[in-house]
A and B are shown apart, each in its own frame.
Chain A
Amino acid sequence: MRVVGTDRKLVLKPPKKRLLTKRGIELMSNTEIIFQTPGVGGALACVVIVALVVCYGFTLRWISRGREDQTGEPPR
């Protein structure tokens, strides 16, 4: 039960239904969990590496398309 209301009137209200328990919220809010969970770092590493490969790939394509954009001819 939690106490809500103003200075003049205090009302007792039943707790709201939550998806996670108080302990669960505590755990989730603890950033250390993210740092400690095995695999999270690896997954992030993979995301960074894949993003970089895609980015570099598109840049090469952009350079290659310079010919097409200027002359209308596709690159050889």
Chain B
Amino acid sequence: MSNIDPDKMVDQLTRPIRKTSAFYYVVVLALLMAVCWGLFAWTCQLTRGLQVTGLNNSVAWGVYITNFVFFIGISHAGTLISAILRVSGAEWRRPITRAAEAITVFALVLGASQILFDLGRPDRALNVILYGPLRSPLLWDVVCISVYLLSSIFYLLLPLIPDVAILRDQRLVLGWRKELYRILSFGWDGNPEQKRRLEKTIGIMAVLIIPIAVSVHTVVSWIFGMTIRPMWHSTILGPYFVVGAIFSGIAAIIIAMAVLRKVYHFEGYLKPIHFNYLGLLLLTMTALWFYFTLAEYLTIGYGALPEEWHVFEAKVAGEFALMFWIMVGSMTVAFFLLLFCRSKWPIGGTVAASLFIVVGMWIERYTIVVPTLVKLTGRGYPPGMYYPSWVEWSITGGSIAGFILLYVLFVKLFPIISIWEVEESEEAVVEKLANMKRYFPCVSSAPTES
């Protein structure tokens, strides 16, 4: 990395912003069409009511809430991973942090919008603020997600400032973009005092964002966990959701990185070693996910309380068994791919495992949300049934397309690999080697000092 000339690096990393291929327009158009189809389906739902969905009195939460939990999980990709790597001083993070942080912001926006789709009457979302009592987990969720979204935008914006200043000073960038970069660079000229202040703020935010991110998915789990319903009312649900979120988040980063690498030829920046390291993290999280899943299902199955048994049976051997075992199968395939193929084919192996994980995690969210509501009998509830309609699938498709579209537009406006952080990687190497000298006292002179 250090062999690349700084000017050449700026040129390479800003090329996606300066040059637009025909393929880019085709992708944007296709995504726009999918988003429009999703909006059309939502319009149908708004005009004709929730009767056009598969939702009913018994099963009021379906695909939309599954998407909500899924997107909020994906949102843990960026900010949390980036913050953990930053705090732990993992220097290999430098080219991947921005791609990850952008995922967080867009996944949060799309995740929060799922609640509006589920409400049927979006204007009633305001009722949480107007009439929400402090003891309501829904209100906790609104607060946590708002705080996380604001903090993630801020955390994305901070390391963007020096790069935006580079774009502001480029002669080729003109018009409204120039004005946008001028505003977002906040008068940056890279003097030591500004740099000191920026790095100090990023350092503080990296620490602060970790508990915020953990709180978000814990509170999302409490929406389920605070209700006294079978297989929801569980103390393990908070950590289980957080582990699942980090798990799916890392998988999302790997997919995004592989696409960016291929499309924009970032082979010199996103190297196999990055995929290998992220693959290792993913392997650890896969093992943790299996541990939590086993702990949850074994405890419930062994206890076999009548109320929980209905739901458990439906998941493992009943009407949701196919989905459940596809989920377990996906995770198993991902685990072995990461275990055996990661070091040989770091990119292909980790990307394939990530695809299995993303699909598996969506199914996992579905099998958490829906079976409990469908099988909630014996307390005066009518027997439930739920078959998602075309409206729900269309809105889901539109949401995924919207997420990708926002990401694609972001890549068009801002460098997706942090220029200044990669530029400083040479200094980081020197610093790291000097630190290593301190770890190993038998090394008499630091190799970098020569």
Q: Chain B residues near A63 (CB, 8 Å)? A: 158, 161, 186, 188, 194, 197-198, 201
Q: Which of B157, B158, B188, B193 contacts A70 (CB 8 A)?
A: B193
Q: How many inter-chain contacts with C-beta < 8 Å in the A-B complex?
A: 99
Q: Which of B133, B143, B154 contacts A40 (CB 8 A)?
A: B133
Judging by beta carbons under 8 Å apart, are B135 and A75 in contact? Answer: no
Q: Chain B residues near A49 (CB, 8 Å)? A: 143, 146-147, 150
Q: Chain A residues near B198 (CB, 8 Å)? A: 63, 66
B153 to A, closest residue via Cβ: A56
* Interchain CA distance A38-B136 in the complex, whole Å: 10
Once A56-B150, A76-B189 are accepted as A-B contacts, the answer to whether A46 and B129 lie under 8 Å apart by CB is yes
Once A52-B150, A67-B189, A67-B193 are accepted as A-B contacts, the answer to whether A42 and B201 lie under 8 Å apart by CB is no
Q: Chain B residues near A40 (CB, 8 Å)? A: 133-134
Q: Chain A residues near B130 (CB, 8 Å)? A: 38-39, 42
Question: What is the minimal beta-carbon distance from A76 to any residue of chain B, in angstroms?
Answer: 5
Judging by beta carbons under 8 Å apart, are B189 and A75 in contact? Answer: yes
Question: What is the minimal beta-carbon distance from B147 to any residue of chain A, in angstroms?
Answer: 6
Judging by beta carbons under 8 Å apart, are B132 and A70 in contact? Answer: no
Once A45-B129, A48-B147 are accepted as A-B contacts, the answer to whether A64 and B134 lie under 8 Å apart by CB is no
B425 within 8 A of A: no
A31 to B, closest residue via Cβ: B134
> How many A residues touch B, CB cutoff 8 Å?
31
B142 within 8 A of A: yes
Which residues of B (143-185) have their CB < 8 Å from a CB of A? Answer: 143, 146-147, 150-151, 154, 157-158, 161, 182
Judging by beta carbons under 8 Å apart, are B191 and A42 in contact? Answer: no
> How many B residues touch A, CB cutoff 8 Å?
34
Judging by beta carbons under 8 Å apart, are A60 and B186 in contact? Answer: yes
A25-64 vs B, Cβ < 8 Å mask (1 yes, 0 no): 0000000001111111110111011001100100111111
* Interchain CA distance A25-B308 in the complex, whole Å: 44
* Interchain CA distance A61-B135 in the complex, whole Å: 36
Q: Chain B residues near A62 (CB, 8 Å)? A: 197, 201
A63 to B, closest residue via Cβ: B197
B196 within 8 A of A: yes
Judging by beta carbons under 8 Å apart, are A35 and B146 in contact? Answer: no
Main secondary structure of the interface of A (DSSP, over half): helix
* Interchain CA distance A6-B83 in the complex, whole Å: 65
A21 within 8 A of B: no
B139 within 8 A of A: yes
Q: Chain B residues near A44 (CB, 8 Å)? A: 134, 143
B189-232 vs A, Cβ < 8 Å mask (1 yes, 0 no): 10111111110010000000000000000000000000000000
Judging by beta carbons under 8 Å apart, are B186 and A52 in contact? Answer: no
Judging by beta carbons under 8 Å apart, are B188 and A36 in contact? Answer: no
* Interchain CA distance A76-B158 in the complex, whole Å: 17
Question: What is the minimal beta-carbon distance from B198 to any residue of chain A, in angstroms?
Answer: 5
Once A38-B131, A42-B130, A45-B139 are accepted as A-B contacts, the answer to whether A52 and B151 lie under 8 Å apart by CB is yes
* Interchain CA distance A41-B134 in the complex, whole Å: 4
Q: Chain A residues near B158 (CB, 8 Å)? A: 63
* Interchain CA distance A49-B143 in the complex, whole Å: 8
* Interchain CA distance A35-B158 in the complex, whole Å: 36
B187 within 8 A of A: yes
Q: Chain B residues near A37 (CB, 8 Å)? A: 133-134
A74 to B, closest residue via Cβ: B187
B128 within 8 A of A: yes
Once A41-B132, A63-B197 are accepted as A-B contacts, the answer to whether A48 and B143 lie under 8 Å apart by CB is yes
* Interchain CA distance A61-B191 in the complex, whole Å: 15
Question: What is the minimal beta-carbon distance from B159 to any residue of chain A, in angstroms?
Answer: 12
Q: Which of A36, A59, A70 contacts B133 (CB 8 A)?
A: A36
Question: What is the minimal beta-carbon distance from B403 to any residue of chain A, in angstroms?
Answer: 23
Judging by beta carbons under 8 Å apart, are B197 and A66 in contact? Answer: yes
B residues at A contact (CB < 8 Å): 128-136, 139, 142-143, 146-147, 150-151, 154, 157-158, 161, 182, 186-189, 191-198, 201
Q: Which 9 pairs of residues, A with B, have the shortest CB-CB distance?
A: A75-B187, A66-B194, A42-B129, A41-B134, A38-B131, A66-B193, A64-B186, A70-B193, A35-B135
Contacts A38-B130, A76-B182 aside, 20 further interface pairs with beta carbons under 8 A come to A37-B134, A38-B131, A38-B132, A39-B131, A40-B133, A41-B133, A41-B135, A42-B130, A48-B147, A56-B154, A59-B201, A60-B157, A61-B186, A63-B198, A66-B195, A66-B198, A67-B193, A70-B193, A70-B194, A75-B187
- A and B contact pairs by CB, cutoff 8 A, 28 listed: A38-B130, A38-B131, A38-B133, A40-B134, A41-B133, A41-B136, A42-B131, A42-B139, A45-B132, A45-B139, A48-B146, A49-B143, A59-B154, A61-B186, A64-B186, A64-B188, A64-B194, A66-B191, A66-B193, A66-B195, A67-B188, A67-B191, A67-B193, A67-B194, A71-B191, A75-B188, A76-B182, A76-B187
